[in-house]
Each structure stands twice: as C-alpha cells, then as structure tokens.
C-alpha cells in the first residue's frame, strides 16, 4: 500500500451547504440543488453540464437513490454512484470522489452528501431490523455503553459531557446554517430528561435534514478555479468489530476511530496530531463520542479529556478548536450529509471565511465520523 | 389397571415471577398499592406462559443430562399462540434432543395433571424413559374483576421417569365431566365464568369428591394414609370444604393453597402446590394430588429417599421469598397490554420468520461459538473467528446455563418500554463471549460494572403482534 498515493493530488475548489434543520417544506432535491449550486458558484462553475464529469453521492435514507441527485441537477450521461457507510457515509462519498480524481480518469467531479430523515414521521433515528435480538435499540443506547467503565477508570462524569454540549451550543449560535442557535448552561444540560444514561437530552444531537456538496479537481487545475483551493491530505475509512460482541473490547475507546486515525495520519504525514492540526470537526452524535474522540484521535492523552475540557483546549479560542460550527449538536445529523458538512466548515476555516467562528492561521484541519454500533469511522484531513 | 409401579417424579422445579400486586390495588385502592389484603404474583411485561415454563423447567433439569429427556409435555390454558406449538419453543430453549416427543396439553385447568398422567403412561409403556411435564399459566382476567384478584402467574415442572424416583405414582383415577363453568373462546380476551355457587357446588366440589372417593375405595386407602392432600381450589373456603367432605383434616393434612400470596396459577396451580408439598415431604410420606377442570384427576404418590437430593433446587419456597411489590396498578395494566400507551409493543411489521429460523440456535437455545483453533468464545455464531480469523472452526456451546458479569450498561428511556428505563448491557458470559443483552427483574440502583448475572428466557419484544423470545440477564438472587 502506498499511503501517500493521494496526498496533495486533489483539490477542493468549491463547496456548498444548505441550511440544516427540520426542512418540512423542502424535498431532498431542493436541498441538493441548494448545496450543489452554491458549490458551483463558489468554484466559478458556470456550465456544470459540461464541467462535472462524475458524481459521487452518499445517503443513508435515500428515497430513490442515485436518481435523486441526477434528477435534481439533471446530471445525466455520466456516472452517478451512491455509497452508504453508516454515519461515515458523507466522508466515504468524498473518498470515492478523491480517488476518481487521483487516478487521473476525471478532471472535475461533484460529491453530494444528503439525507431527509424528517420525512419518516418519527423523532430520532429508526431502529429497524428483521432479527429478534437487536430490538428495541437506540443509538443513544449503543453510544453510551463506554460511559460507565470510562467514568470509573478515569474519573470523568456527566458534568464533563455537559461542558462539551455547552461549547457546541455556543459555536452553533455563530454558524449561519446550523439548526439550533441557543446557548445552554451546564446546569440546564444536567437537569434535562435522561434519554439513555448518562445522556440527557442535551448530550444527544437531533436528527435533521440537510445536504452538502463539494467540487473536486486535480491539483494542476485547482488554481484555474480559484486562488485559495484546499488540498486533500488524507481520507481514511476503517471498520472494527461490533463493540457489543467483540470479545476483546475494553469499553474505554471506540476502535474504529483508533484504526482510521492511524491510516489518516500516515497518509497525511502527521506525527503529532495535537500539535500539527489547527482544528477538527468530530462526530458529536453524543457528547461522550466527542470526549472519546479527543483521545482516540490522539488530540489528548488517554484519560486526560476531562482536564482538556475543563481548561478549554477544544473551545473556539482554545489551542485546538473542535466543532467550530457547533457540530452535530447544533446542525443535527442528516447522516449522509454530515461528513460533507464538516468538510464545508474546514474548507471555509482554511480559506479564512468562517466569520465569527474563524480560527486564526488555520492550515490543517481534520473531520471525523463514527457510525454503526459504532463500527465504522471516516476521517478526512485537508490543508492549505 | 390403575397401578403404575416404579414410575414417578424424579425431579421438580417451579417458577414464580418476582412481582407481587396487592389485591387492594386491584379492587380500586387507587393507583398505589394498598396493604394488608393479600397479594398475587404477576408476570413482568417480558414474561408469558412460555418464558415461565422455560424457567421452571430449567430449575427442574438442574444437574440432569438434557439428552436423557425423551419427551416434553406443556400444559397451559394461556398460550401466546392460538395455532403454533409452545412445547417446541420450550424444547428449543432447553436444548432438548431433536427427536424429543413434544406436545401441548391445552384447554383445561386440569391440563397439568392430564399431562402428568400421560407422561407416566408413556414411561410405563416403555416408549420413553424420561418425560418433562411443565404446567404454566399467565391467565388474563378483566381489569378490576374478582378473577383478577384470585389469579396468579407461575409455572411448575416435573421430570417423570423410572430411575431414582422421588415420588412414585402409586395409583391414579380420572373422570371427565361436561360443564360450562370457566371458559374463554377464541375471541375472548379474558377468562369468563358462570355464577360462583353453581361452579363450586356442581363443578368443583362434586367432581373432586367423586374422584377422591373413587381412588380411595378402589385402592383401599383412607385419608389417614396420606400426609398431605394437594388440592386445586378456586378459593380458600371451598378448598377447605372439599378436604373436610373427603375426610381430611384441613388444618394438618391440607397443603396450604397460598391464597392471597401466590394466586391461582391455573393449569399450574395444583402442580405448583405439589411442588410445595414435595419440598416438605419426607421419605415414606404419601401424598394425594387432586385436580379439577372439566372433570377431575387424582393421583396417589409415595415419597422415597431420592426426594432429599431435590430439596436444594429452586422450587416454590425460593420463589415465594423472592418478591418485589409492584406499586402501581396502571403499570400492571401496561405490562399486560391492557392500557393504551405511547409505546405499542405490538406495532410494526414484525420479525422475519426466515431470520428467526436461521437464528434459532442463538435466539432460543442461546448458543454461542467456541473456536476449535484458539478457544475464544464469542456470540453470535460466527463463520470467521474474531480472534484468530479461522474459518468454520467454531463449535456451538450452550451459554444459557452459565453466569456472567456486566461489562457495560446504560439505562435507555428512549427505547420504548412499559417499565422504563430499559436496562441495556453488554454482558460477558463466563468463558468470554460478549452478548448485548437487556436486563430484567432489576432496579437501576443495583446495576453496576462487573455485577454477576444469570440468564433468563424472556419476550424481548412483540413486534408484529407475536411474542419474540430471546434471553435477558438478571442479577443473581441468592
């Protein structure tokens, strides 16, 4: 394997993102058009019919599949593919787009991540299965399974989780396209109804509708689109055994992140992520997921997340801001869109266009998704 | 010929659900439980006649080689299915042999003793050496009715054989009688009954006197020959009245009916009282068991030495001591699906029967896999080993009888449960397999990391309107 096969060979030259939320009056096609046309405009693409050579989509709840994107954008006569990989779906769609450019077959491709879970008429994710054993089950129930043992081993607790929610709620108030724009306090977070211990309402992200898009091109062509392209340093996917069945699991980390981070850092040539990364968007489906991700990504020593949360390492004005746009906590989690939405934030940050959320002198940014029980992780690293 | 020498009970077990509902709460004492008026056992929301049967049979089979069981008879009036055998689910959950003779004995309160007599006949005839007889009932009565107060939920199990017999069936007699006293048609949700005095006088007392007297006179036995009369009874007064009418001293010879304590467990009631009697019987004692329902059965049992070896297993005494008061009548209604609630456990398209078929070894028998190459135990069944990645080197092992400990847990209020929170765990079964299991019969306060647990067969949900069974963990009760 050549871990450097894609480094700096692919550039992002345009991105778009619709407003995330309970978009009752929008069809998936409406959100896809908004995200894609913002990306076209951002890249200076005036003739997408001629310039977009292939499309890579990601969605977990598609109603029609690839045709939803092809029909919305009238992109026919070229490949349109769709991937699904739990919550890493958006990052995985991006990954296929990166490979398509890096291999030299296409000059310019479009990546679209989208989902419309609010058309299903239920709050929260569905938990549908045909078997007996898994039900009733909830993502909150899965992602909370590390809590008791992590808390006992490292002395962390619900207050530490609440501080993560407070931080992300604050960042979300500064993001124009977020769903929730509401400051909360630690006390409010701790007093909220329990969803699945230790998660109260504010420890959980909401479900929402959304779409985000990226235009990728080869390095040589990037400057013909814009002066400030963003380059892809790494994009990794890794799966791990279901933590509910894995006989060797220690309930102190999420293995998929550990595996994917190792690959991604090798691809990007990163030796010390805590020092080298300027900011990160991580998968805060639940506050504990963000806490464990600090450590699993090597942004904090094992067991030290609590201290970093207290000292503000990951706050907007901290040493390594995490979830600068408010994360899943304030955008909600339209599964296929989330990974691409995170890239949108990193792209804007690296271009210095993140307005009140701007991280100073950002040159290297990471985005991270964790999904399934959880079993899969996607990581993308982009830089100037 | 009525004598059935050398055939009888070789093991017994019982199961009573943990919850007790006070009779005061039923009779309208408000939402909260009343006190002082007695109580009844009620099945938890994840229990039914089948799960209770598995629990009673598991107690009965303690220390007994499962492959020695040739037949299983399941007696009940409250099957979860109108068409589909319950004995087959129970046999699978107990890991009985593929060629076990399985049958349901249904329709009557007398089904328990019907099944005992059938089993004894099979052993005596030589077509089986060992037959498991399980009686279990979770009968539904109309909310706030007198029946709801008198019923109780529970199960009992007996192994009938000819080796190391603890209670020989010396003689038996049966009569069949046509009377519409207690019934439930295909469309009735609740048990119905005719006027009390008619039922007691013309059904209950008349049939029992007749069957007891017939057995005594034919076998030339007298009431004084029996240490205990184990008698079905609809209520304490009629119970004592039959004993007296047949010449037994209701104070010393009548096995107590546990009215206001356990409740009338239907087809499992007389068998349950028999378990209670066997727990107290001494070698040389003789018991008379008399059961009622569309006629009557009587069996004379003679207790032998092997009884002393059975006293350690979980019988009725253990289960009566293990009790938790249910403090809320509305909660009871929710557990029986008698109350409209936002969590409709029966909604949805249901479980794929094809998937159920493929997963039977895991879901019903609770088999895990042990890798033949590296020894790692795992769940569910794998084609490729988690540890050494060997392909198809895995042998099935039964996990259901083992203990385990909690590796991880959460209290899920979002999952939809009639009694939230749902306690969800990853449990490590002794040997190393990890299983994602719900915990039942437990309070959130007692849940902690590494808590020792045992396994119990329960309904995991009722999607599609059918009971879907799997195993749950529960704290080990001393």
* Inter-chain residue contact A148 with B409, CB threshold 8 Å: yes
pLDDT surpasses 90 at B343: no
* B463 confidence band (pLDDT: 50, 70, 90): confident
What's the CATH superfamily of B8-335?
Thiolase/Chalcone synthase (3.40.47.10)
Domain ranges of chain B: 8-335, 353-475
Residues A188, A262 within the same domain: yes
Are A40 and A81 found together in one domain?
yes
Residues in chain B with CB shorter than 8 Å from the CB of A144 are 410, 412
Cβ-Cβ contacts under 8 Å for B443 (sequence gap 6 or more) = none
DSSP string, A151-209: HHHH---HHHHHHHHHHHHHHHHT-TT-S------HHHHHHSPEEETTEEGGGBPPP-B
CATH number, domain with residue A68: 3.40.47.10
Active site residues of A: 87, 333
pLDDT at B2 over 50: no
pLDDT for A22 beyond 60: yes
* Dist. CA B123–CA B6, nearest whole Å: 10
- Alpha-carbon distance B265 to B151, whole Å? 6
Give this complex's ipTM: 0.82
Domain check: are A220 and A281 in the same one?
A: no
Q: How far apart are CA B250 and CA A263, in angstroms?
A: 80
Question: CB distance A149–B352 less than 8 Å?
Answer: no
Q: Which of B352, B380, B412 minimises the CB distance to A245?
A: B380
Closest CA to A361 of A322, A319, A330: A319
Say yes or no: A323 and A221 in one domain: no
Q: How many CA atoms lie within 13 A of B362 on its CB side?
A: 21
Contact B434/A at CB under 8 A? yes
Same domain, yes or no: A56 and A98: yes
Q: Is B424 on the interface with A (CB under 8 A)?
A: yes
Q: What is the mean pLDDT of residues B141-162?
A: 95
Is B407 close to A251, i.e. CB distance below 8 A? yes
Residues A223 and A240 in one domain: no
What is the rounded CA–CA span in Å between residue A270 and residue A265?
5
Residue B154 has pLDDT above 80, yes or no: yes
CA distance B42 to B39: 9
DSSP H stretches of helix in chain A: 28-43, 48-51, 66-73, 89-102, 139-143, 147-154, 158-173, 186-191, 219-225, 255-268, 273-276, 287-296, 305-311, 327-331, 335-350
Q: Which residue of A137, A146, A241 is in closest CB contact with B415? A: A137
At B371 the pLDDT is: 96
What are the counts of helices (DSSP H) followed by strands (DSSP E) for chain B?
14, 22
CA A140/CA A98 separation, integer angstroms? 32
The overall average pLDDT reported for chain B is 92
Q: B379: distance to nearest CA of chain A, Å?
A: 6
Q: Are A345 and A331 in contact (CB under 8 A)?
A: no
A220 plus A156 within the same structural domain: no
Q: Which has the minimum average pLDDT: A1-5, A329-333, B134-138, B428-432?
A: A1-5
Q: Which residue of chain B has the CA closest to A123?
A: B414
Question: Average of pLDDT values for B100-123?
Answer: 97
| Chain B: residue whose CA lies nearest to A250 | B407
With beta carbons less than 8 A apart as the criterion, state whether A286 and A140 touch: yes
- For B:342-361, CB contacts with A below 8 A are 351-352, 355-356, 359
Look at residues B8, B30, B16, B27 and name the one whose alpha carbon lies nearest to residue B59.
B16
Average pLDDT score, chain A: 95
pLDDT for the residue numbered B34: 45
pTM: predicted TM-score of the whole model, two decimal places: 0.86
Distance CA A293, CA B374 (A): 32
**Calpha distance A179→A190 (Å, rounded):** 22
Q: Kindly tell me if the per-residue pLDDT of B461 is higher than 90.
A: no
CA A65 to chain B, closest CA, distance in angstroms equals 23
Q: Inspect the interface and report whether the beta carbons of A244 and B435 lie closer than 8 Å.
A: yes
Inter-chain Cβ pairs, chain A and chain B, closer than 8 A: 121
Shared-domain flag, residues A222 and A284: no
Longest pairwise C-alpha distance within chain B: 72
Q: Which residue has the higher pLDDT, A266 or B337?
A: A266
- A277 and A334 assigned to the same domain: yes
pLDDT-based confidence at B350, cuts 50/70/90?
A: confident
pLDDT band at A130 (very low <50, low <70, confident <90, very high): low
Over range A123-133, report the average pLDDT: 63
Residues A215 and A250 in one domain: no
pLDDT digits (tens, 9 = 90+) for B61-89: 999 999 999 999 999 999 999 999 999 99
Q: Please, what is the end-to-end C-alpha distance for chain B in angstroms?
A: 45
What is the per-residue pLDDT across B395-450, written as a single tens digit (0 to 9) for each?
999 999 999 999 999 999 988 788 889 999 999 999 999 999 999 999 999 999 99
> Chain A closest CA to B461's CA: distance in Å?
7
Q: What is the mean pLDDT of residues B370-396?
A: 93
- Give the domain range for residue A63: 10-119+208-229
Q: Chain A contact for B386, CB < 8 A?
A: yes
Going by their DSSP bridges, the two strands A54-58 and A80-83 should be labelled as parallel
The model's pLDDT over B238-296, given as tens digits with 9 standing for 90+, comes to 999 999 999 999 999 999 999 999 999 999 999 999 999 999 999 999 999 999 999 99
> CA dihedral defined by B228, B233, B236, B242, rounded to 10 degrees?
-60
Question: Are residues B155 and B52 in contact, defined by beta-carbon separation less than 8 angstroms?
Answer: yes
Residue A45 lies in a domain: yes
Amino acid B299: pLDDT: 98
Q: Round to whole Å and give the CA distance between B277 and B288.
A: 10
Could B422 and A136 be called an inter-chain contact, meaning their C-beta atoms sit closer than 8 Å?
Answer: yes
> End-to-end CA distance of chain A, in Å?
25
Task: Classify residue A77 by burial, with Cβ atoms within 10 Å: 0-12, 13-18, 19+.
Answer: exposed
Of A130, A132, A146, the CB nearest to B470: A132
- The number of distinct structural domains making up chain A is 2
pLDDT of residue B35: 47
Mean per-residue pLDDT, A183-207 = 97
CB atoms within 10 A of CB B379: 25
User: Does residue A153 share a domain with residue A101?
Assistant: no
CB A170 within 8 A of CB A185: no
Same domain, A271 and A221: no
Cβ within 8 Å of residue A137, ≥6 positions away: A127, A129, B415, B424
Burial (CB < 10 A; 0-12, 13-18, 19+), residue B99, is exposed
Average pLDDT over residues A33-49: 97
Q: Considering the domain boundaries, does residue A278 fall inside one?
A: yes
Nearest to A208 by CA among A4, A6, A23: A23
- Report the residue of chain A nearest B466, measured CA to CA: A132
């Amino acid at each position: 394997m050549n871990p450097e096969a894609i480094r700096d060979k692919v550039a992002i030259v345009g991105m778009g993102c619709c407003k995330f939320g309970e978009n009752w009056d929008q069809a998936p096609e409406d959100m896809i058009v908004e995200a894609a046309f913002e990306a076209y405009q951002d890249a200076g693409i005036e003739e997408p019919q001629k310039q977009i050579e292939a499309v890579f989509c990601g969605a977990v709840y598609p109603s029609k599949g690839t045709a939803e994107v092809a029909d919305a954008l009238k992109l026919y006569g070229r490949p349109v593919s769709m991937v699904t990989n739990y919550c890493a779906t958006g990052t995985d769609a991006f990954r296929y787009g990166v490979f398509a450019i890096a291999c030299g077959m296409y000059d310019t491709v479009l990546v679209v991540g989208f989902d419309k879970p609010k058309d299903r008429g239920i709050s929260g994710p569905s938990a549908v299965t045909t078997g007996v054993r898994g039900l009733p089950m909830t993502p909150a129930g899965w992602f909370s399974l590390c809590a008791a043992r992590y808390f006992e081993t490292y002395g962390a607790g619900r207050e530490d989780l609440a501080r993560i929610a407070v931080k992300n709620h604050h960042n979300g108030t500064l993001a124009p396209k977020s769903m929730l724009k509401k400051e909360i306090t630690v006390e409010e977070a701790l007093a909220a109804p329990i969803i699945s211990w230790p998660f109260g309402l504010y420890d959980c992200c909401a479900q929402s509708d959304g779409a985000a898009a990226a235009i990728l091109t080869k390095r040589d062509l990037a400057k013909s689109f814009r002066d400030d392209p963003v380059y892809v340093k790494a994009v990794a996917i890794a799966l791990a055994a279901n933590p509910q069945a894995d006989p060797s699991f220690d309930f102190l980390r999420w293995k998929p992140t550990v595996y994917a981070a190792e690959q991604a850092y090798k691809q990007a040539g990163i030796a010390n992520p805590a020092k080298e990364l300027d900011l990160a968007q991580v998968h805060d489906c639940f506050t504990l997921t963000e806490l464990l991700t600090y450590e699993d990504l090597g942004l904090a020593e094992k067991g030290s997340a609590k201290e970093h949360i207290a000292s503000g390492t990951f706050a907007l004005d901290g040493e390594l801001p995490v979830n600068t746009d408010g994360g899943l906590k304030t955008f909600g989690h339209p599964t296929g869109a989330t990974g691409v939405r995170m890239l949108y934030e990193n792209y804007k940050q690296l271009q210095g266009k993140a307005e009140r959320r701007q991280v100073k002198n950002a040159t290297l940014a990471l985005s991270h998704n964790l999904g399934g029980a959880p079993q899969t992780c996607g990581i993308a690293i982009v830089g100037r | 010929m009525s004598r059935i020498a050398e055939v009888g009970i070789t093991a017994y077990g019982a199961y009573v659900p943990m919850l007790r509902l006070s009779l005061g709460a039923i009779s309208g004492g408000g939402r909260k439980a009343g006190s002082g008026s007695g109580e009844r056992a009620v099945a938890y929301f994840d229990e039914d006649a089948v799960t209770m049967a598995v629990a009673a049979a598991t107690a009965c089979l303690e220390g007994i080689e499962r492959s020695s069981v040739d037949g299983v008879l399941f007696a009940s009036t409250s099957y979860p299915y109108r068409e589909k055998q319950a004995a087959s689910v129970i046999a699978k959950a107990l890991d009985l042999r593929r060629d076990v003779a399985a049958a349901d004995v249904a329709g009557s309160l007398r089904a328990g003793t019907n099944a005992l007599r059938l089993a004894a006949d099979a052993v005596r005839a030589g077509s089986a050496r060992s037959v498991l007889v399980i009686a279990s009932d979770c009968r539904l009565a109309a909310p706030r009715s007198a029946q709801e107060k008198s019923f109780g939920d529970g199960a009992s199990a007996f192994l009938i054989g000819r080796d190391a017999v603890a209670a020989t069936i010396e003689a038996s007699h049966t009569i069949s009688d046509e009377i519409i006293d207690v019934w439930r048609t295909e469309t009735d949700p609740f048990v119905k009954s005719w006027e009390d005095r008619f039922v007691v006088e013309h059904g209950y007392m008349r049939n029992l006197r007749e069957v007891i007297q017939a057995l005594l006179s034919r076998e030339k036995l007298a009431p004084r020959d029996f240490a205990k009369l184990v008698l079905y009874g609809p209520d304490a007064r009629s119970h004592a009245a039959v004993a007296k009418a047949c010449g037994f001293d209701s104070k010393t010879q009548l096995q107590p009916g546990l009215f206001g304590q356990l409740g009338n467990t239907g087809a499992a009631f007389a068998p349950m009282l028999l378990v209670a009697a066997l727990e107290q019987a001494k070698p040389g004692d003789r018991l008379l068991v008399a059961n009622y329902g569309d006629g009557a059965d009587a069996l004379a049992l003679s207790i032998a030495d092997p009884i002393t070896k059975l006293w350690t297993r979980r019988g009725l005494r253990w289960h009566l001591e293990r009790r938790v008061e249910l403090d809320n009548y509305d909660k009871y209604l929710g557990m029986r699906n008698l109350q409209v609630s936002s969590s409709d456990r029966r909604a949805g398209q249901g479980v794929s029967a094809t998937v159920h078929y493929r997963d039977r070894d895991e879901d019903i028998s609770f088999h895990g896999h042990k890798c033949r190459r590296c020894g790692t135990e795992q769940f569910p069944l794998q084609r490729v080993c988690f540890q050494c990645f060997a392909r198809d080197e895995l042998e099935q092992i039964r996990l259901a009888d083992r203990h385990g400990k909690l590796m991880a847990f959460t209290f899920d209020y979002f999952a939809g449960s009639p009694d939230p929170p749902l306690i969800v765990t990853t449990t490590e079964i002794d040997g190393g397999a990890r299983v994602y299991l719900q915990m039942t019969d437990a309070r959130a306060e007692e849940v902690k990391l590494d808590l020792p647990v045992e396994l119990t067969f329960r309904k995991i949900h009722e999607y599609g309107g059918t009971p879907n069974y799997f195993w749950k963990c529960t704290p080990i009760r001393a």
